């Protein structure tokens, strides 16, 4: 019962996570404050999670990772249209490395690498969020959902005894906090300047 509930919650998060960022990019017509490398690596990493889910027989992981792939593809398209092409080559290299890891070292090693790569994936966004003076296009809602996603997948990993999913949960929750703190500080500064 708990596994089914976590799977349903994860499905809602997977389908909704990219939506606030997509809406914000369309609404603001700006790509300022959104990391291209994070987006493109997100596309590659979620394709890796999709393959991991198929290989391990974890259908929810495979299906929901597909939803993330679609979301990241939409964000990547909007970034490219906005002139931000950074990260494409990195994502291609990462995809090759993931395929090689699965082929040579196996799926458990790939899953662990994917969990750690999620942290690396978000380093450019975390750095940009902390250094940028303008976070106009960065969606708070997306990173709130990312934090919840980490909690849910971490819990799913505990229930299924899949250590890579537990590690993913810890990493993703941490990333969400590291992006939301500077976004909140920026929002408060912007509101104070408008007064």
Q: CA–CA separation, 177 vs 179, rounded Å?
A: 5
Question: pLDDT for 48-85, tens place per residue?
Answer: 999 999 999 988 888 888 988 999 999 999 999 999 99
Q: CA–CA separation, 40 vs 94, rounded Å?
A: 10
Question: pLDDT for 6-46, tens place per residue?
Answer: 778 877 877 788 889 999 999 999 999 999 999 999 999 99
CB count, 10 Å around CB of 31? 21
Q: CA–CA separation, 143 vs 149, rounded Å?
A: 9
Q: CA–CA separation, 110 vs 99, rounded Å?
A: 9
Q: Which residue is associated with the tokens 């380093």?
A: 123
Q: What DSSP element (H or E) covers 65?
A: helix 59-81
Confidence of residue 47 (pLDDT cuts 50, 70, 90): very high
Residues in the chain: 195
What does the mean pLDDT of the chain come to? 91
What distances in angstroms separate CA 195 from CA 141, 188, 189, 191, one per listed residue? 24, 11, 10, 7
Contacts of the segment 64-71: beta carbons below 8 A, 24+ positions apart: 64/10, 64/11, 64/14, 65/14, 67/11, 67/14, 67/15, 68/14, 68/17, 68/18, 68/42, 69/43, 70/18, 71/14, 71/17, 71/18, 71/19, 71/22
Identify whether the C-beta of residue 162 lies closer than 8 Å to the C-beta of residue 136: no
Average pLDDT of span 83-90: 94
Q: CA–CA separation, 138 vs 64, rounded Å?
A: 23
Give pLDDT, residue 1: 67
């Amino acid at each position: 019962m708990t596994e089914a509930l976590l799977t349903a919650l994860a499905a809602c998060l997977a389908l909704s996570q990219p939506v606030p960022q997509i809406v914000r990019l369309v609404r603001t017509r700006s790509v300022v404050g959104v990391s291209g490398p994070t987006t493109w690596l997100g596309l590659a990493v979620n394709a890796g999670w999709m393959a991991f889910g198929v290989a391990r027989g974890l259908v929810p992981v495979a299906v929901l990772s597909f939803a993330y792939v679609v979301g990241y593809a939409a964000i990547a398209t909007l970034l490219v249209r906005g002139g931000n092409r950074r990260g494409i080559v990195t994502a291609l290299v990462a995809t090759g490395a993931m395929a090689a890891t699965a082929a040579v070292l196996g799926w458990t090693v790939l899953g662990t690498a994917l969990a750690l790569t999620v942290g690396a994936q978000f380093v450019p966004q975390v750095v940009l969020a902390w250094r940028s003076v303008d976070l106009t296009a960065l969606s708070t809602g997306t990173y709130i959902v990312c934090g919840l996603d980490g909690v849910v997948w971490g819990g799913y990993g505990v229930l299924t005894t899949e250590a890579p999913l537990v590690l993913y949960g810890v990493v993703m929750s941490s990333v969400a906090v590291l992006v939301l703190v500077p976004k909140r500080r920026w929002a408060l500064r912007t509101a104070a300047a408008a007064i």
